[in-house]
A and B are shown apart, each in its own frame.
Chain A
Amino acid sequence: MAHELVYTSAERGLRPGTRGFCTVAHTRGMAPATMRMLESLSAYRSLYGAQEAASLAEPVVWSHYRVSLMGRSQNVLSRVSPTGVDHTNRSNKLAHHLLISSQERPVGGPLWLCAQPGVFLEEWNEEPHLIEEPKVLPSGDEESYIATSWASLTGDAGHAGTLASLFHARDDMIVVLVYEAGVEMAPLLREAMALLAPDERWLVTYNTYFTSLPAGMTCAWRCCVADSDACREAKRNPKATVIDLTGTLPEPNGNDSYVKRAREGGAPIVVKTQESQNKSKFKLMQNREINQLNLKPRKL
């Protein structure tokens, strides 16, 4: 289950007296500090002028960050996109954030979860309200590991494996993926992430339309629109490996197991990381509900 927060421009917000850009919904019991942190992740930088026809094709931000809240490591999944006009006839955006604890992460990984229907909102036409219950997340896993989107874009599905293999290159690896505006990056990242072991998928932070790094956060996979300021800045980072999708990519290493899997499919490649080793010591107890407030299991 996940706690969620919805942020957009509305005539009236959830908190009394708020209007304009504000929170219009959040799960009951969410701490103010958590709300502020999620609101701070709601920034959006438009690619086009407000009245330009191309503004209908503004990229959607799909992001995943890892945060520490109240001593617990949690994952934040976000979807931020422009969404027509607000009540003042000016540009609007919709940000929907999910806060997921480590015990509730679906095996399929963050991008698999984002792709499931009904998980994220694409529009908001409701009155401000509290969300009474945390969101029940679908469970499941990837069904195919052949990187068809990569094959379609670059001509070789193996490039997904190149990206996946970089995950193990070094702990602070940053990958900058440069793309032309209009390319959907979420499916590409999803296919690369699917090649990783389920435990590893939730360790990969990413942003499909990266413009700046939120303070205090890390972002391993940064998708930047070609020729943007963010792209130029990101490329200058000495820790960054650049995968430029606007040009011809070098041939993937055919001996790399991730590259092979991306081309041919097959079972996930499990490489035990420290975190996955720690996790394997603990198993979710059956038929018990974990009280999120005091973490003591209690019988249903």
Chain B
Amino acid sequence: MSNDESASEVPVLHIRCQLEGQPPIERKITEFPCRIGRSQNCDIVISDSSISSLHALISKNEDGDLILEDQWSTNGIYMHFQRVRQVKLEGTMHLVMGRVSIDLSWFPAGGSGSQASSSDTVGVAPMPRQRMTLPVDPLEGSPAATISRISGSGQGGIVCPHCWYRFDVDEFLFVSRHQSLLGDPVLGDDAPLRFLPSRFTPEGNAIDAAGMSCPDMACPRCHLRIPQAASEMPPLFLSIVGATASGKSYFLTSMTWQLRNTLSSNFAMSFTDTDAVNNQILNDFEETVFLQSDPNELVSLRKTELQGDLYNQVLLDNMLINLPKPFMFTVTPAEHHPRYKQVLESMSRTLVLYDNAGEHFEPGMDSVDNPTTQHLLHSDTIFFLFDPTKDVRFRKRLSGSDDPQLAASARVQRQEIILTEMINRIKKYTGLRSGRKCAKTLLFLVSKCDVWKHLLDFPIPEEPWMWDGDYNTCVLDVDTIKNVSFSVRYLLMQICPEVVSTAESFAGEVLYLPNSALGHSPELNEETGMIGIRPVDVDPFWVTVPMLYFFYERGFISPVPSHRRERHPETPSECKLSGDVFFIMLPGLKKPLQIPTSFSGFQLRCPGTDMWFTVPEMPGGGSGDA
């Protein structure tokens, strides 16, 4: 075979990577699969903190097509402001990975580009392992940036769930077990000493100075214990944000309790405590709400504090720092998962959650010695809990309810301030420029829907999933979820539009979901003045759906297959795309519906009517698949 002939059969991919403020780097790729990431082992190494170690993979499928696939990166891959998991490369395409802009041009075998020689690149001579350098840290020297800078400066594949420090496996410290080895410089006099081992048992446990076998490992920076399972499986960070008394603790409790059952019985996924010690507080919450011996007795969860059991105090750089205690869950496919062997490694993750006090999200509460909300920077997805009982305008629509949270004396609060503060913190520490959207998905959860659900004109099914006999597990009804989201968004736009615009100005994808952690209005204990709930009345609603969608985005849960998706007769519509919004005009409407591109490809119902329409796919394809 001549070189020309062999060249014509080889697909040629031109890739151009550009980090803002840096000169672009261009390469021609002829060998596949091609790995893109921050790790030195990748074929294209991008040394930027917004890029995961292995961010994406370009491979050739059986049909000869090139497929670019997200490798469960933290900041994802975006096309037209919409996060994508898998994209078939066609012609010229523009993607965003973290802070890096990627232009791809693909000429399949026999195409015009295939005549180019393998050494020819556009404008730049080819170099092996071209590396893009980090920009100068704009926050250098700022005390408030110290923690995040340290957090990001570590290299390696392990991320500490306590302080988010990234390190290599050989940097692990071990926790001494002998009673005489007390007193740690970071954790205080009462804590066992942490050490870097030089001796090991045959089982691989470190041996401390007094000769005892030590299986427990700790972070080299904060010295807090990291369960072994958490070190073996990559973490998925999830932040829950909300104002004071918005119900974060109740939501977290109901969600984890329900997920234990829902995931295993419906989706062939195991959801278990990574470490019982770490999850003790959350387990106590679950017992309080769901496992009371007398279900008719009034119970309540205490107001989340800013100090104490939910935090670890450590001494770092001579500063006393409060780090939030993470709740950790191990997520793995169950053995009866239909693709168990194929997905065992990719689906095995450690889910890390935090229960912050609402005060932590107030403006002015973020400081270098109190980085309790810095998990926002590392979270793959953020759940923002919006409490309609605290919004004056919502309350007007709900007058007549006997829910004590809607009583005239109950307090109200502007919650978009919390949302704005959250956004500002993320932008400050990630260097995200104004006007640019964050790659994170924002799930906007409107809580306490048992009180306001009747305001929606779209019926919400109890369980938005169905059994798929071909797949042998349940599949997620993403169409219904998207319609519910659209309906909730429409309601919010009528009542508190500034909240919607704030959310959508920040995140590339925003999903609006209703939920009720308790499914029932609380009662006021006349003797103590404390609100509470009777376990017999607890009936959570849609508390698992946000997490199910989170797993769906990552490919752990499949959507309803195309041939089973329910299609409604459509009403003809006119559609225009402007930026990241579709303007869709339907008969009888005075003005067009403005629909974010995150809904593209889905059939939606126009609120207040029976008119169904499909939001067009984005130009270039690669929309959210369902």
- Measuring CB to CB, which residues of chain A are less than 8 angstroms from any residue of chain B? 9, 11, 15, 17-22, 36-37, 39-46, 49-51, 84-93, 211-218, 233, 236-239
Are A90 and B299 closer than 8 Å at their CB atoms?
no
Given the complex, which residues of B lie within 8 Å of A11, measured CB to CB?
A: 411
Option from B358, B363, B410, B530 in Cβ contact (under 8 Å) with A91: B530
Give 8 closest A-B pairs by Cβ, nearest first.
A43-B308, A215-B313, A43-B307, A90-B303, A88-B245, A238-B179, A20-B244, A20-B359
B138 within 8 A of A: no
The residue from B180, B308, B528 contacting A51, defined by CB atoms under 8 A apart: B528
Q: Which of B180, B189, B190 contacts A233 (CB 8 A)?
A: B190
Contact across chains for A50 and B315 when beta carbons are under 8 A apart: no
Q: In the complex, A44→B305 CA distance in Å?
A: 8
What are the residues of chain B within 8 A of A37 when measuring CB–CB? 320
Q: Is the CB of A85 within 8 A of B308?
A: no
Interface residues of B in 328-382 (CB under 8 A from A): 357-359, 362-365, 367, 369-370
Cα separation A88 to B389 with both chains bound (whole Å): 12
Q: Is the CB of B369 within 8 A of A213?
A: no
Residues 178-204 of chain B, each 1 if its beta carbon lies under 8 Å from chain A, else 0: 011010000111100000000000000
B320 pairs with A215, CB closer than 8 A = yes
Is B95 at the interface (CB under 8 A from chain A)? no
Given contacts A51-B525, A85-B528, whether A215 and B303 have CB atoms under 8 Å apart is no
Do the beta carbons of B188 and A51 come within 8 Å of each other? no
With both chains docked as a complex, state the minimum distance between the C-beta of B176 and any C-beta of chain A, in angstroms: 12
B318, chain A: closest CB distance, angstroms: 10
> Could you tell me if A90 and B245 are in contact, using CB atoms closer than 8 angstroms?
yes
Instruction: Report whether B190 and A213 are in contact in the complex, using a CB–CB cutoff of 8 Å.
Output: yes
**Chain A residues within 8 Å of B359, by CB:** 18-22
Q: Which of A39, A49, A88, A218 contacts B411 (CB 8 A)?
A: A88
Q: Give which listed residue, B180, B187, B299, B528, contacts A215 with CB less than 8 A.
A: B187
| 29 pairs from A and B in contact (CB 8 Å cutoff) | A18-B364, A19-B413, A20-B358, A21-B357, A39-B307, A40-B307, A40-B313, A40-B320, A49-B300, A50-B299, A50-B301, A50-B532, A51-B300, A51-B528, A85-B529, A88-B245, A89-B530, A90-B245, A91-B300, A211-B308, A212-B308, A213-B190, A214-B188, A216-B188, A216-B315, A236-B179, A237-B182, A237-B190, A238-B182
B531 in contact (CB, < 8 A): yes
Whether a CB of chain A sits under 8 angstroms from the CB of B121 is no
Q: Using a CB-CB cutoff of 8 Å, which residues 379-423 of chain B contact chain A?
A: 404, 410-411, 413
* A43-B307, A90-B302 known, 7 other contacts, Cβ within 8 Å: A9-B303, A44-B308, A50-B300, A50-B530, A211-B309, A214-B188, A238-B179
Assembled-state Cα–Cα distance A90/B404 (Å): 12
Asked if residues B308 and A17 are in contact (CB atoms below 8 Å), the reply is: no
**Residues in A neighbouring B505, C-beta threshold 8 A:** none
Separation in Å of the A6 CB from the closest CB of chain B? 15
Closest to B525 in A: A51
Task: Give Cα A90–Cα B532 distance, bound, in whole angstroms.
Answer: 9
With CB as the reference atom, state the residue of chain A lying closest to B312: A215
Instruction: Compute the total of residue contacts between A and B using a CB distance below 8 Å.
Output: 123
Tell which of A40, A85, A86 touches B322, judged by Cβ atoms closer than 8 Å.
A40
CB distance B313 to A45 under 8 Å? no
Chain A: CB-nearest residue to B302: A91
Question: A215 and B314: CB pair below 8 A?
Answer: yes
Give Cα A37–Cα B313 distance, bound, in whole angstroms. 12
- Closest chain-B Cβ to A299's Cβ sits at a distance in Å of 39
Of all chain A residues, the one with the shortest Cβ separation from B244 is A20
Q: B313 touching A89 by the CB < 8 A rule? A: no
Bound form: Cα–Cα A86–B524 in Å: 13
Interface footprint category on B = 35 or more
CB-nearest residue of chain A relative to B189? Answer: A218
For B302, the chain A residues whose CB sits under 8 A away are: 46, 50, 90-91
The docked-state distance in angstroms from the alpha carbon of A17 to that of B297 is: 37
CB pair B188 A89 closer than 8 Å = no
Q: A49-B288, A237-B190 are in contact. Are A89 and B320 (CB under 8 A)?
A: no
Bound-state CA distance A11–B302 (Å) is 17
Give the residues from 217 to 257 in chain B that come closer than 8 angstroms, CB to CB, to chain A.
Answer: 244-245
- Contact partner of A17 among B188, B189, B362, B404, CB < 8 A? B362
Q: Is B298 located at the chain interface by the 8 A CB criterion?
A: yes
Q: Is the CB of B404 within 8 A of A89?
A: yes
Known interface pairs A44-B305, A50-B300, A238-B180; A17-B363 also in contact (CB < 8 Å): yes
Cβ distance B28 to chain A, nearest Cβ, rounded Å:
55
Q: Which chain A residues border B532 with CB–CB below 8 Å?
A: 50-51
* CB of B209 closer than 8 Å to a CB of A: no
Query: In the complex the two chains form, is A51's CB within 8 Å of B297's CB?
Result: yes
When distances are taken between beta carbons in the complex, the residues of chain A under 8 Å from B322 are: 40
Nearest residue (CB) in B for A32 is B367
Question: B491 contacts the other chain (Cβ, under 8 Å)?
Answer: no
Return A198 CB to nearest CB of chain B, in Å.
27
A21 touches B306 (CB 8 A): yes
- CA–CA, A218 and B411, complex, Å: 41
B192 to chain A, nearest CB (A): 10
Residues of A within 8 A of B190 (CB): 213, 233, 237
Question: Which residues of A have CB within 8 Å of B189?
Answer: 213, 218
Q: Which residues of A contact B530 (CB under 8 A)?
A: 50-51, 85, 89-91
Pick the residue among A40, A46, A213, A236 that contacts B188 (CB under 8 A): A213
Chain B contacts for A236, CB-based, 8 A: 179
- Between B315, B524, B528, the greatest number of chain A beta carbons within 10 A of the residue's beta carbon is seen for B528
Of all chain A residues, the one with the shortest Cβ separation from B522 is A89
Q: How far is the CA of A15 from the CA of B365 in the complex (A)?
A: 11
A200–B209 CA distance with the chains assembled, in angstroms: 36
Which chain B residue shows the least CB distance to A42? Answer: B307
**Residues 507-565 (chain B) with a chain A CB within 8 angstroms:** 524-525, 528-532
A18 & B179 in contact (Cβ 8 Å cutoff)? no
Question: Which residues of chain A have C-beta atoms less than 8 A from B525's C-beta?
Answer: 51
Residues of B contacting A15 in the complex (Cβ-Cβ under 8 angstroms): 364
Residues of chain B within 8 A (CB-CB) of A21 are 303, 305-306, 357, 359
Min CB distance A54 to B, Å, is 12
Q: How far is the CA of A9 from the CA of B179 in the complex (A)?
A: 40
| Among B297, B301, B359, residue most surrounded by chain A Cβ atoms (within 10 Å) | B359
CB closest chain-B residue, reference A95? B307
Q: Quick check: A19 and B299 within 8 Å, CB to CB? A: no
| A45 and B311 alpha carbons, distance in the complex (Å) | 12
Closest to A46 in B: B302
List of A residues within 8 angstroms of B298 by Cβ: 51
The answer on a CB contact under 8 Å between B303 and A92 is: yes
Q: Is B305 in contact with A214, judged by CB distance below 8 angstroms?
A: no
Closest to A89 in B: B531
User: Once the chains bind, are A215 and B411 in contact (CB under 8 Å)?
Assistant: no
Q: Select the residue from B187, B288, B307 with max chain A CB neighbours within 10 A.
A: B307
Residues of B within 8 A of A211 (CB): 308-309
Are A45 and B309 also in contact (CB < 8 A) when A50-B302, A236-B179, A238-B179 are? yes
Residues of A within 8 A of B529 (CB): 84-85, 89
Q: Is the pair B315, A215 in contact by a Cβ cutoff of 8 Å?
A: yes
Taking the closest CB of chain B, its distance from the CB of A12, in whole angstroms, is 10
* A15 and B359 alpha carbons, distance in the complex (Å): 13
Once bound together, how far apart are the Cα atoms of A92 and B531, in whole Å?
12
Within 8 A of A (CB), among B109-125: none
On whether the beta carbons of B305 and A43 are closer than 8 Å, the reply is yes
Task: Known contacts A18-B364, A89-B530; decide if A51 and B299 are in contact (CB<8 Å).
Answer: yes
CA distance A221 to B259 in the complex (A): 43
**CA–CA, A215 and B315, complex, Å:** 7
Chain A residues lying within 8 Å of B315, measured Cβ to Cβ, are 215-216
Verify B531–A90 contact, CB threshold 8 A: yes
Alpha-carbon distance between A77 and B190 when the two chains are bound, in angstroms: 21
Please measure, in the bound complex, the distance between the C-alpha atom of A189 and the C-alpha atom of B359, giving whole angstroms.
36
- Inter-subunit contact A45/B308 (CB<8 Å): yes
How far apart are the CA atoms of A41 and B190 in the complex, in Å? 17
Docked complex Cα distance between A89 and B302 (Å): 10
Which chain B residue shows the least CB distance to A84? B529
Of B301, B309, B320, B362, the residue contacting A18 (CB under 8 A) is B362
